[in-house]
Amino acid sequence: MRNKWIAAPYVGWMAVFVVAPLIVVLVYALTREAPDGSWYLTAENFAGMAGYAAVFARSFLLAGIATVVCILLGYPMAYFLSRERGRLRSMATMLIMLPMWMNFLLRTYSWVFLLERNGFFNTLLSSIGLPKLDIINTSGAVVLGMVYNFLPFMVLPIFSVITKIDNRVIEAAQDLGAGSFQVFRRVIFPLSLPGVLSGVTMVFIPSVSTFVISRLLGGGKSLLLGDLIEMQFLGAAYNPHLGSAISLVMMVIVLVCMGIMNRFGEGEGEAVLL
């Protein structure tokens, strides 16, 4: 089936609804509103960016930690699931996706309830005579929220890549005398890397730009990039021009990171979610 024109409507759609909005953001980032309501061209939105270096650093650090934890939990999970036979394996995708059908805000909220000072966990701990833990409103709680919400995005691509590995490749390795650890290290792991890479993208980006999680679980104390942007657009410190500028800088940093990572990976750097 060769027919490139069939993509034409979507290319048009992308031009209008993907590219054009970005141009609008660019215009906002490069302008400011004068007191009389007219707009003027300026770079002052970017000038103060250094002042937010701490926020940038904190966001990238927390999102980075969350991503690493997701790999540490998600990779073994995907690997073990792919080794299962029967019901569990065929249902694995759905089981991982199912939590996402409960509202994202509700799921995060329910962690608040679990981690609260007099919440479920602490009640449990004190009922067996252990001291209470202060988890809520710390950076740790924010990372936990990120891992919880975005773990499926790490497991799914890895699982899908591992299950696609040709069994004959593994058998060949075994026939050539590789032990099961060697099979994993020399065959399965390298072949599953594209899944890990796309998982990293799918976890890191929403983590670095979240504001709901840091709001609900971080108590608004450690501001993340998402919060900073949200403040400018949702009014706590209304300034869509500054918000657009911060968004652009964040986008560029993220794109550069992803570009470098995909270079390391392989040529065709596109995400495989399932």
Minimum distance from CB of 41 to another protein (Å)? Answer: 17
Amino acid at 89: R
Minimum distance from CB of 35 to another protein (Å)? Answer: 6
Minimum distance from CB of 129 to another protein (Å)? Answer: 20
Checking 32-41 for CB contacts under 8 A at 24+ apart, the result is: 32/241, 33/241
Backbone CA torsion sign across 157, 161, 164, 167: negative
Pick the closer one to another protein by CB: 24 or 172: 24
Contact string 128-167 vs another protein (x = CB under 8 A): ------x-xx-x--------x--xx--------------x
Minimum distance from CB of 109 to another protein (Å)? Answer: 5
Interface pick for another protein out of 3, 131, 168, 177 (rule CB under 8 A):
3
Minimum distance from CB of 94 to another protein (Å)? Answer: 5
Q: Distance of alpha carbon 193 from its chain centroid, rounded? A: 17
Picking from 138, 162, 132, the residue whose alpha carbon sits closest to that of residue 58 is 138
Amino acid at 232: Q
Picking from 136, 107, 133, the residue whose alpha carbon sits closest to that of residue 217 is 136
Interface pick for another protein out of 71, 178, 191, 251 (rule CB under 8 A):
251
Distance CA 73, CA 152 (A): 10
Interface pick for another protein out of 30, 62, 81, 158 (rule CB under 8 A):
81
Q: Does residue 199 interact with another protein by CB under 8 A?
A: no
Span 166-185, contacts to another protein by CB under 8 A: 167, 170, 180
What is the token pair recorded at 188? 């399965």
> Binding residues for another protein, how many (CB under 8 A)?
118
Minimum distance from CB of 167 to another protein (Å)? Answer: 8
Distance CA 183, CA 143 (A): 33
Q: Does residue 71 interact with another protein by CB under 8 A?
A: no
Q: Distance of alpha carbon 244 from its chain centroid, rounded? A: 20
Q: Does residue 125 interact with another protein by CB under 8 A?
A: no
What is the token pair recorded at 52? 């937010």
Q: Does residue 187 interact with another protein by CB under 8 A?
A: no
Q: Does residue 216 interact with another protein by CB under 8 A?
A: yes
Distance CA 198, CA 150 (A): 13
Minimum distance from CB of 130 to another protein (Å)? Answer: 18
Residues facing residue 32 across a β-bridge: 40
Contact string 12-51 vs another protein (x = CB under 8 A): -xx--xxxxxx-xx--x------x---------------x
Residues facing residue 31 across a β-bridge: 41
